[in-house]
Structure 1
């Protein structure tokens, strides 16, 4: 696996007076924050978060017959649309704003966002994708809510030139009365995963999530952040039925929108809402705000979850070739006369389903690690029982030293009271998308913004 390049930045942020934009151009029934905070009926403090892929003008097609005609060629068009996006964002005034497809390559647009958000009391961080792709990310945090303790940039340097932002924040005031330790710290991530142009590229998206979670593990360990909530925002370019969703769920993350609406992970609830109409005209739900609370006790070792996600991808590729379980076993063992899969046959099968031997495929080390997970008894071959574990994506939990260190730390603080979050509200705009419909008159973007309100709650550390 390629090393993630990490850029550290100190936050030298000017002192900007806070003022709100009270535009009511979008009249609808929703929450609205006051300086980033929302007070409930009981008067408890809450934080709100919005994630929104705002469709970079360099990607917005204006004519289906002429794909080269883009909005970026017409200043009046992109300027007006982005002013409307800012009107909407400043009307909602979420505590946290995470934008994707932010047109970092246009200085005028960047200045527009920085000035309007800055005047409204936000601290902003922008990050371009690698290889001068033109777009990137913007994360904005309201000063009345947070002070920034650290900001990191994750450059994946991968097939998709994708990046992520990590912001370590502390609340300006304690969330709860008599809160132990005072102000609350939170880790916030903003990212935009690769679009799945081909099913074999799902491995790239799994790589990207794996790198984020790896980095979060290291960052928490290095900074002794044993019990801290994590919020992951972005365009994940995959639905609830995909392997990225299942990977994050196996790591204890909760989809805030699904949690608020009491939707399950099952197929029956997979299409109850949408958030994107892509360039192929398909509508799907790909925008998520993930929450990981410090009390979560179901988290598997990261390497185990990663292996299960990759095995799930292998199974999906084989099923697309109409191979049932027993046929898949025959395919994987290839010409071997015995009823076992050998390592060379395993590697050749991965090559045939485009998961190795590609610029974006599994590395030699990753393939070897997968084999170790599959070969449970360590005898150098995978028999049918071991294959069934792989086929059903249930790996042996070979806990590494890093995970043991984390577990020992957790045991030391087993009775510690910490602050986490419950999901109070979550909504998509426009409201039609919450019913699985895409309104033709919606023009802000090809994505619907997702907003979530979190309420602090006391809980026991795991």
Structure 2
């Protein structure tokens, strides 16, 4: 369902990213907040004056559905959904914050689609503020889902698609194809596509390590879906924003898989953090039901000039990483792992049947949510480098034990040369990361404040500026 309304009200997202607004300042019971008409600008940290330039701001927030919010740890069945005044007040406060920030794009997870009153409240208030909203329920009537809202004055909506994973987690994803509604100074020629894709999703919580392959499946389906959509619509050079609650950190297989596909964490780019273990612990965005704090909420950016590995190859590398992880959890080192995979075979190689049996023993196949027979065959073909029907020890080391989803560097294909190929260089629009913040701000220091009550997730907001970039496509000479 889509809600559309006109509004001339606006506020300065750049200013809000640099402000010290306290949660208690927005707790009015009528669900209203003051707004300013300052437009969208970016506040430079090196000047005191506001520098206005075109920008796109994006907020992702898991708002904790009332059907999941526990009110008493001793009585797990006591949920916020049983108390209308409580969940209504909390969601009014959430909307207050969202409308104060006035992000160009809002991506919400755990949106309580099963409650008509709450749905109407979000649609009406966001619609009155000039947003177009799209909601999508999880499959099998789980009660919650996704809501994506975009500002009409910033975007023309070209298409909207829904993706149902149909897996054990009943997860879903939304894809929006939008076009910037305003020109910007860097686009001097005016012929570059000012379009990009927005994806909102919420991956499965890893209750068990064996579910890692399910989460990898989910993001693999998203990238396949995006790749097919780009191919069908001839979108060769289109930026992509992947937003949501990934239920996994920067150290996990999903994150490494996405990095191999050219995506970067916009928050980490803004704060100049690397993918090292030390930087991975600098910030958090979630305190889960077990009391653990971790960073799981991301706005991932892939610019059109970013190199990307073939999707199936990256997928295989990520699965091999999960296989290695499962073997290590069984206290197997390299030599023992090879012996385990080749089972009773006396030769120095692994057969396909032994490979399948080993995957069954580590719960990666043979279960409803495990690898399919086709995926298992595809993995085997990747591991059998020389194609002789078996995986020898050197192949095992190269493909399975030492395989990893490595980050690819940005490159301009015009730097490459070849006798049989040449490059077609085109202009495209990408994004620079200008700023990014988490709220509550303690989350940026790796801490979780006890007095924070809006959700069990922090809200992540990122400001991007469109930038013109040169992209190239390799074409083979006939």
Q: How many residues align?
A: 436
Q: CA deviation at 1:294?
A: 0.4
1:386 equivalenced with 2:395 (yes/no): yes
Q: Could you say what secondary structure the match of 1:263 adopts?
A: coil
Q: CA deviation at 1:35?
A: 8.1
Q: From 251, 265, 268, give the equivalent of 2:261.
A: 251
Q: CA deviation at 1:98?
A: 0.1
**What's the counterpart of residue 113 of structure 1?**
122
8 A Cα contact 2:108 2:244, kept in partner: yes
Correspondence list, 1:84-123, <5 A? 84-123=93-132
TM-score between both structures, scaled by the size of structure 1: 0.90
Q: From 234, 238, 255, give the equivalent of 1:228.
A: 238
Correspondence list, 1:170-185, <5 A? 170-176=179-185, 177-181=187-191, 184-185=194-195
- Please give the per-residue CA displacement for 1:408-427, whole angstroms capped at 9, x wherever unaligned: xxx88632121111111011
8 A Cα contact 1:172 1:183, kept in partner: no
1:36–1:179: structure 2 CA closer, same or farther, 3 Å change rule?
farther
2-structure distance, mates of 1:50, 1:56 = 18
2-structure distance, mates of 1:87, 1:76 = 16
Which stretch has the larger CA shift, 279-288 or 13-22?
Answer: 13-22
Correspondence list, 1:308-323, <5 A? 308-323=317-332
2-structure distance, mates of 1:36, 1:159 = 44
**What's the counterpart of residue 454 of structure 2?**
444
Correspondence list, 1:273-422, <5 A? 273-297=283-307, 299-389=308-398, 390-393=400-403, 414-422=424-432
2-structure distance, mates of 1:96, 1:457 = 18
**What's the counterpart of residue 141 of structure 2?**
132
**What's the counterpart of residue 150 of structure 1?**
159
Q: CA deviation at 1:37?
A: 3.0
2-structure distance, mates of 1:371, 1:296 = 29
Q: From 176, 188, 192, give the equivalent of 2:202.
A: 192
2-structure distance, mates of 1:236, 1:103 = 18
**What's the counterpart of residue 61 of structure 2?**
52
Q: Could you say what secondary structure the match of 1:351 adopts?
A: helix
Q: CA deviation at 1:182?
A: 6.1
Q: From 217, 223, 238, give the equivalent of 1:207.
A: 217
2-structure distance, mates of 1:453, 1:412 = 36
Q: Could you say what secondary structure the match of 2:336 adopts?
A: helix
Q: Could you say what secondary structure the match of 1:37 adopts?
A: coil
Q: CA deviation at 1:28?
A: 3.7
2-structure distance, mates of 1:262, 1:121 = 34
8 A Cα contact 1:36 1:93, kept in partner: no
TM-score between both structures, scaled by the size of structure 2: 0.87
Q: CA deviation at 1:356?
A: 0.2
2-structure distance, mates of 1:174, 1:314 = 48
Q: From 250, 254, 265, give the equivalent of 1:240.
A: 250
Q: CA deviation at 1:392?
A: 1.1
Q: CA deviation at 1:266?
A: 1.4
Q: Could you say what secondary structure the match of 2:55 adopts?
A: strand
Q: CA deviation at 1:334?
A: 0.6
Q: From 34, 38, 42, give the equivalent of 2:41.
A: 38
1:188–1:34: structure 2 CA closer, same or farther, 3 Å change rule?
farther
Q: Could you say what secondary structure the match of 1:274 adopts?
A: coil
1:93–1:34: structure 2 CA closer, same or farther, 3 Å change rule?
farther
8 A Cα contact 1:137 1:191, kept in partner: yes
2-structure distance, mates of 1:45, 1:295 = 21
Q: Could you say what secondary structure the match of 1:207 adopts?
A: helix
1:218 equivalenced with 2:208 (yes/no): no
2-structure distance, mates of 1:415, 1:37 = 32
**What's the counterpart of residue 9 of structure 2?**
19
8 A Cα contact 2:55 2:465, kept in partner: yes
Ranges in structure 1 where 5+ consecutive residues have no aligned partner: 1-10, 396-410
* Aligned alpha-carbon RMSD (Å): 2.3
Ranges in structure 2 where 5+ consecutive residues have no aligned partner: 22-34, 44-49, 406-420, 473-478
Q: CA deviation at 1:140?
A: 0.4
8 A Cα contact 1:237 1:286, kept in partner: yes
**What's the counterpart of residue 403 of structure 1?**
none
2-structure distance, mates of 1:340, 1:49 = 51
